[in-house]
A and B are shown apart, each in its own frame.
Chain A
Amino acid sequence: MRGGAAALLLIAATMASGDGRLSGTAFMSPETRAMQADDLANPGMFAVLEGARLWEETAGVSGRSCAGCHGDGAETMKGVAARYPAFDEASNAAVDLTARVNLCRTRHQDADPLPPEDPRLLALTTFIGHQSRGQKIEPDPDPRLQPWRELGARLFRTRMGQLNFSCANCHDDNAGRHLAGNPIPQGHATGYPIYRLEWQSMGSLQRRFRNCLVGVRAEPFAYGSREFIALELFLADRAAGMTIETPAVRP
């Protein structure tokens, strides 16, 4: 298992993009940073291993595996996560990587889609995301994604919930300050799926969004909703050029 020095250098590189944008890593304690930097201390790597295993496993009636079409994932999936959310021709809509995996299952493997936050789904998206570790976020420029970009930008600035906060209120206006004793990060989704210490397990960016929405006492959007895909795309634009850290560790 690689890790060690390479991962340490990666942490240093990911923390600052030189234009004032900082990864969530920069807001964590040194101990949590060390946990992410060491591939042998990072429980997210179990999801990568499990994802690699599932990649070879056949699914559904088709008897096809991911490898059957995509070959060696460690090679063919390089840079893929960096370009998501992307435009899906067949459904004429924006999809994130989670939705893409399920679309592959239903369309090409004749298998049932996996439910939100299912460990197998997280293992696959972590495995795929990990193949982009060290690369820069490069949002899909497809002009057909414009409606989602606009929706995401608007949602990010919309006050929500009983506490009446927008994402921007915390993550733009107050990043670096503290909320209930903990630092507020800038909210760049560079390491998803993450191992969140609070969950004691892996989780997607949408799970994290739901935590924020509960945090402001708002009704969370549903998993897979247009709102969440739009927010994911907006965050990808906002973090364009920042380095991917999947699987990240976060408090």
Chain B
Amino acid sequence: MTIAASRRRVLALGLAAPLMLLCRRAGATPEAMAAAIEAFTGGGTPAETGITLDIPLLVENGNSVPITVSVESAMTEEDHVEEIAVFNEANPLPDVVRVRLTPRSGLGRFQTRIRLAGSQTIIAVARMSDGSLRRAAVSVIVTAPACRES
């Protein structure tokens, strides 16, 4: 029984190793993400409230991850979300998507599907019409299926 258990552990490592290799790419770092966020915010400090980033905490496949970013706003001419940017820290590039809304959007929200090259933190930053900023960060674990093309 001990032999079977250790063989299983070796097999599990054998399957996990290729997944780990895929997660390390040149150009993808938390520092690059921080720089991209800084460029977007112009150095301002975002509030941590009034914005939610909905994303599964355990991702079934990093090739397609549904996200919804919702910003609390009446979406009036005087007070609305102008732009929402989503950033990541482990893909080859820090940007994921930039969305511009208008008062005619009605809701400060959008939904899409993104790619994540491994477990990492995703950050959504919103800029309001009055220049104020809001930020939501979520750390997710990305898994991959065991039986693949190669």
A–B direct contact (CB < 8 Å): yes
B138 located at the interface, meaning its Cβ lies under 8 Å from any Cβ of chain A in the complex: no
Contacts A35-B66, A215-B147, A215-B148 hold; do A180 and B60 have CB atoms under 8 A apart?
no
Binds B, one of A25-33, A54-62, A67-75: A25-33
Q: With both chains docked as a complex, state the minimum distance between the C-beta of B147 and any C-beta of chain A, in angstroms.
A: 3
A200 located at the interface, meaning its Cβ lies under 8 Å from any Cβ of chain B in the complex: yes
Contacts of B45 in A (CB 8 A): none
A214 located at the interface, meaning its Cβ lies under 8 Å from any Cβ of chain B in the complex: yes
Contact between A197 and B19 (Cβ–Cβ < 8 Å)?
no
Contacts of A197 in B (CB 8 A): 60-61, 63-64
B145 in complex: contacting residue of A29, A34, A182, A200, CB < 8 Å: A182
A142 located at the interface, meaning its Cβ lies under 8 Å from any Cβ of chain B in the complex: no
**Nearest A-chain residue to B11, judged by Cβ:** A163
**Nearest A-chain residue to B55, judged by Cβ:** A31
B47 located at the interface, meaning its Cβ lies under 8 Å from any Cβ of chain A in the complex: no
List 13 extra interface pairs beyond A28-B60, A211-B148, A214-B150, CB under 8 A: A29-B60, A32-B61, A35-B64, A163-B11, A180-B12, A180-B145, A197-B63, A198-B61, A198-B63, A198-B149, A211-B147, A215-B147, A215-B148
- Chosen A-B contacts, 24 in total, with CB atoms closer than 8 Å, are A29-B56, A29-B60, A31-B60, A32-B60, A34-B66, A35-B66, A163-B11, A179-B15, A179-B146, A180-B12, A180-B15, A180-B143, A180-B144, A180-B145, A180-B146, A182-B143, A182-B145, A197-B61, A198-B63, A210-B149, A211-B147, A212-B147, A214-B147, A251-B61
